[in-house]
Amino acid sequence: MSAKKIFHSTTFKLITSFLGATLLQSILFLSLGANLLNQVMRAETENRIRMDLNAAREIYSANIAAVRGSLFYTALAPDFASMVEDRNGQELSDILSMVARSAGLDFIGIQTADGKVLNAKMGGDFRPEESENSIAEQVFGRMVPVAGTVLADRAFLSAQDPGLAERARIKILPDYEKAAEEKNILSAGLVIAAGVPVLREGRVIAVLYGGMLVNRGITIVDTVKDTVFQNETYKGSSVGTATIFLNDVRVSTNVMTAEAVRAVGTRVSPEVRDRVLSKGGRWIGEAFVVNDWYITAYEPIEDLDGKKVGMLYVGVLEQKYNDIRRKILSIFVLITLAGMALAVGLGIILSRRILSPIVRLIRASRQVSDGSLTPDIGPLAGDEIGVLQSTFMDMVREMGRRRSESETRLLQSEKQASVGRLAAGVAHEINNPLTGVLTYTHMLLRRKDLSDDMRSDLQVVAESTERVRKIVKGLLDFSRQTRLDPEPTEINRVVASTIQLVENQALLKGIAIRFHPGENLPVLILDRSQIRSVFLNIIINAIDATDPGGSITIYTASALSVSESEQTGVEITIADTGCGIPAEHLDKIFDPFFTTKEVGQGTGLGLAVSYGIVKRHGGTIRVQSEKGRGTRFFVWLPVKEGTAFAVGAEE
C-alpha cells in the first residue's frame, strides 16, 4: 500500500468518523429541537390565543355593558317615567332616537306593562305588541335590568325596523349549505341587547329595551382585530381574525373568503360545532377556517336563558408560525451543514497534521531499506508521533551501529584469516633456520676461548633469537588451527584460578585485584585452558596499564548477547583503573601485531589470539575505554554449545 493511499484512506476514515459524529449529533439535535420547538410554539400560541379569546370576550361584554348603560341612564332620567306614563309618544320617540344614535344602538323601544310598544322607528305611536319580546319579558319577570345576547327572530326585528330584519337575513354560502330540507337562509339575528325597568312609584310601568344586531355588524370583530391583534398583517392577510357565530354560521367576521369578502354565511367545521355548541366547551387548536389554517379559539355565546346561541372565535394565521418554525428549522439545518463542512475541513487538516509525519516516516523507512542510514523524517512532532519518530531514528541509528559492528567483526575475522595463513607459512619456514641460529650460537657460547667482546656479542645474538622465537610462537598460537577441548566449566573457578596466577605480580606492583563472582551462573562448555589464557592476557594487560595503587575489578554475571539473537550466556567484565586506551586505538587492539607496549615488551598478538579463542567459543569480546580513567573488557560466552565449537579457525 503506497503512502499516498494510506494517507487518503486514513483521511477518509477520519473525515467519515467526524462526519458520522456530527451527523448523528445533528440529527438528534434537529429532531429534538424541532420537537421542542413545536411544543413550545404550540403551547405559546395556544396560550396566546386563549388570552386573545378572553380579550375578545371582554370586548363583547363591554359592548353589552355599553348597551345596558345607555338604557339605564336614559331610564333614570327624572321625567322619563312620567313621560312613559303619560304616553308622551313624540317626545319619547325623539329621546329614543337620540339615545340610539349616541349609543350606536340598532334598535331601541319601550314596552309598557299593558302590552303597548313604542320604538324609535315608529314615530311616536304606542302600538300593541306584535312580536315576542324576550328582553322585555325577562325584565318584567325579574324587575331588574337585564343585558346579554339574544336570538331575535325576524318578526321581532321587523317590528323594530324592517331594514334591520333585512340586514339580519343571511344566505348560507353554497359550499356550506346543508341538506335540502334544512333552511339555508338565516333570518334570525344575534342581538346584543339590554332591558331596564321604567319605575313609577315602585311599580314597573314599562321596560326600556334596545340593542345592536350582530349580523353583518363589524364593530365588535374589528375592535377585536384592531385592539387584540393590532391589525397585524402577514403576507397580505390579517394575522388575527375574530368571528361571532349564530349557531354555527358566521354572522359577523373579518375572516375573508377567497374572493376577499367577509366570510359571512359560512359555517364552522362540524368538529368545532360539536365541541363548542353541543358540549359547551372551548376549542383551542388548529382549525381550517374558511380557506386557511388558523390557530383558533372558540367558545360558546349564551343567551339570557343560558342557551347556547352562538360562538365567539379568534384565530391567528398558522402560516406565520409555520414560517417561523420553518425558518428556525432551516437555521438548524444550516448550522448542521456548516458543522459537517467544518468536520470535513477539520478531518482534512487533522489528518494532514497527524499523517504527514507518518507519511514521512514511511518514506524514511523506504530510504532505510534502500540503504540510507540518514533518512529524512522531517521536523519532530511534539506528541506520540514525535515519540514514534525519535524511536524510529533510534532504531535506524542502532541498525547503523550494528551494521558497522558486524562489518568490523567481518573485517576482523578476514584480517585474522589472512594473518593466520601468513603466520603459519612464515613460522614453518623460519623455525628451521632459527634452529640453526640457536644451535650454532649456543654451541659457540660453550667455547671457553671466546673473548669477552665476542661472548657478549654472541649473547646479544642469542637473546635476539629468543625474541624471534617468541614472536614466531605467538604467531603460531594466533594462527594455528586449534581444536577446542571443551568441557563443562564453572566460569568463576576459571577466573579465580587465573587471578591466582597473576596475583603476586599485581601485588608486587601495588595493584589490588578484586573479584565479584556472580551467583547461580550457568555451567559453560569451554576449553578451560584457552579461556584462561584469554583472561590471563587481559588481566596482564590491565596490570601493565595500571599504576601502583590502582585496582582491577572482575565481575561475572548472566547476560544476553549484545547481538540480535539475544542468546543467554555469561559476561565476564574486567575493569581497570589504568591509563585507558586512546579512542583511535580502540578499533585496532584486536588486530594482530598491534601493540602500544615498548618494543620487546609485547608481541601484539595477545588480544588477537584472545579474540580468536572467544570467537571460536561463539562468544564476543568488547572493550570500552576512557583515556585516563580505565578500560573495561567484556567477554561474553554463550551457555549452549553453539555451532562455533565445531568450526575450527581458518586454515
Partner 1 sequence: MKVMVVDDEKIVLDSCRKVFSAEGWEVIVEPSADSAIEALTTVRPSLFLIDMKMPVHDGMYLMDRIKEKAPGVPVIVMSGYHTREAIEESKKKGAVLFLMKPFTPDELVEAVRQVLEPKGA
Q: Which stretch binds partner 1 (CB under 8 A): 156-164, 188-196, 479-487, 632-640?
A: 479-487
Q: Which stretch binds partner 1 (CB under 8 A): 76-84, 109-117, 357-365, 439-447?
A: 439-447
Residue 483 interacts with partner 1 (CB under 8 A)?
A: yes
Minimum Å distance from CB 432 to partner 1?
A: 4
Residue 100 interacts with partner 1 (CB under 8 A)?
A: no
Minimum Å distance from CB 458 to partner 1?
A: 13
What is the spatial distance between Cα 467 and Cα 598, in angstroms, rounded to a whole number?
Answer: 14
Residue closer to partner 1, measured from CB, 330 or 459: 459
- Per CB under 8 A, contacts with partner 1 among 218-247 are none
Residue 461 interacts with partner 1 (CB under 8 A)?
A: no
Minimum Å distance from CB 454 to partner 1?
A: 18
User: What's the farthest any 2 CA atoms get from each other in the chain?
Assistant: 203
Residue closer to partner 1, measured from CB, 437 or 644: 437
Smallest CA-to-CA distance from 196 within 126, 143, 131 is with 143
Asked if 549 and 580 touch (Cβ cutoff 8 Å), the reply is no
Minimum Å distance from CB 434 to partner 1?
A: 4
Residue closer to partner 1, measured from CB, 358 or 430: 430
Which one of 5, 235, 446, 448 is in contact with partner 1 (CB under 8 A)?
Answer: 446
Minimum Å distance from CB 422 to partner 1?
A: 13
What is the spatial distance between Cα 416 and Cα 216, in angstroms, rounded to a whole number?
Answer: 128
Which one of 437, 450, 512, 540 is in contact with partner 1 (CB under 8 A)?
Answer: 437
Question: Mask: binding to partner 1, 367-406, rule CB under 8 A, as x and -?
Answer: ----------------------------------------
Asked if 145 and 206 touch (Cβ cutoff 8 Å), the reply is no
Smallest CA-to-CA distance from 332 within 40, 42, 37 is with 37
Residue 469 interacts with partner 1 (CB under 8 A)?
A: yes
Minimum Å distance from CB 482 to partner 1?
A: 6
Plot region of 626 (φ>0 → left; ψ -120 to 50 → alpha; else → beta): beta
Which one of 101, 203, 421, 442 is in contact with partner 1 (CB under 8 A)?
Answer: 442
Which one of 481, 563, 568, 601 is in contact with partner 1 (CB under 8 A)?
Answer: 481
Smallest CA-to-CA distance from 103 within 193, 199, 196 is with 193
What is the spatial distance between Cα 254 and Cα 262, in angstroms, rounded to a whole number?
Answer: 6
Pairing label, strands 630-638, 568-576: antiparallel
Which one of 179, 180, 260, 443 is in contact with partner 1 (CB under 8 A)?
Answer: 443
CA–centroid distance for 383 within its chain: 20
Residue 651 interacts with partner 1 (CB under 8 A)?
A: no
Minimum Å distance from CB 470 to partner 1?
A: 11
What is the spatial distance between Cα 563 and Cα 584, in angstroms, rounded to a whole number?
Answer: 24
Q: Which stretch binds partner 1 (CB under 8 A): 333-341, 440-448, 511-519, 610-618?
A: 440-448
- Phi/psi of residue 380, nearest 5 degrees: -70, 135
- Phi/psi of residue 617, nearest 5 degrees: -85, 0
- Phi/psi of residue 116, nearest 5 degrees: -95, 150
Which one of 19, 34, 438, 639 is in contact with partner 1 (CB under 8 A)?
Answer: 438
Plot region of 579 (φ>0 → left; ψ -120 to 50 → alpha; else → beta): alpha
Q: How many CB atoms lie within 10 A of CB 57?
A: 16
Residue with cell 310601568: 205
Smallest CA-to-CA distance from 429 within 468, 458, 467 is with 468
Residues 6+ apart with CB under 8 A from 542: 552, 574, 576, 578, 631, 633
Residue closer to partner 1, measured from CB, 319 or 482: 482
Question: Mask: binding to partner 1, 417-436, rule CB under 8 A, as x and -?
Answer: -------x--xxxxxxxxxx
Minimum Å distance from CB 406 to partner 1?
A: 29
- Phi/psi of residue 526, nearest 5 degrees: -140, 160
Beta bridge partners of 572: 556, 635
Minimum Å distance from CB 650 to partner 1?
A: 13
> SS3 of 76, please?
helix
What is the spatial distance between Cα 136 and Cα 143, in angstroms, rounded to a whole number?
Answer: 10
- Per CB under 8 A, contacts with partner 1 among 625-644 are none
Asked if 638 and 611 touch (Cβ cutoff 8 Å), the reply is no
Q: Which stretch binds partner 1 (CB under 8 A): 169-177, 248-256, 351-359, 473-481?
A: 473-481
- Per CB under 8 A, contacts with partner 1 among 113-152 are none
Minimum Å distance from CB 409 to partner 1?
A: 25
What's the DSSP call for residue 278?
A: I
> SS3 of 411, please?
helix
Minimum Å distance from CB 465 to partner 1?
A: 8
Residue closer to partner 1, measured from CB, 321 or 478: 478
What is the spatial distance between Cα 287 and Cα 246, in angstroms, rounded to a whole number?
Answer: 19
Minimum Å distance from CB 609 to partner 1?
A: 14
Say how many residues touch partner 1, by CB under 8 A.
26
Residue closer to partner 1, measured from CB, 419 or 572: 419
Question: Mask: binding to partner 1, 334-353, rule CB under 8 A, as x and -?
Answer: --------------------
Minimum Å distance from CB 462 to partner 1?
A: 8
Residue closer to partner 1, measured from CB, 6 or 434: 434
Residue 440 interacts with partner 1 (CB under 8 A)?
A: yes
Minimum Å distance from CB 467 to partner 1?
A: 12
Q: Which stretch binds partner 1 (CB under 8 A): 190-198, 438-446, 450-458, 632-640?
A: 438-446
Which one of 251, 301, 343, 476 is in contact with partner 1 (CB under 8 A)?
Answer: 476
Asked if 375 and 364 touch (Cβ cutoff 8 Å), the reply is yes
Q: Which stretch binds partner 1 (CB under 8 A): 100-108, 184-192, 442-450, 574-582?
A: 442-450
Residue 459 interacts with partner 1 (CB under 8 A)?
A: no
Beta bridge partners of 208: 110, 196
Residue closer to partner 1, measured from CB, 10 or 431: 431
The cell numbers describing 340, all together, are 459537517
Minimum Å distance from CB 593 to partner 1?
A: 20
What is the spatial distance between Cα 194 and Cα 190, in angstroms, rounded to a whole number?
Answer: 13
The cell numbers describing 170, all together, are 343571511
Smallest CA-to-CA distance from 522 within 466, 571, 460, 471 is with 571
Asked if 69 and 196 touch (Cβ cutoff 8 Å), the reply is no
Which residues contribute to the site for partner 1 (CB under 8 A)? 424, 427-440, 442-443, 446, 465, 469, 473, 476, 480-483
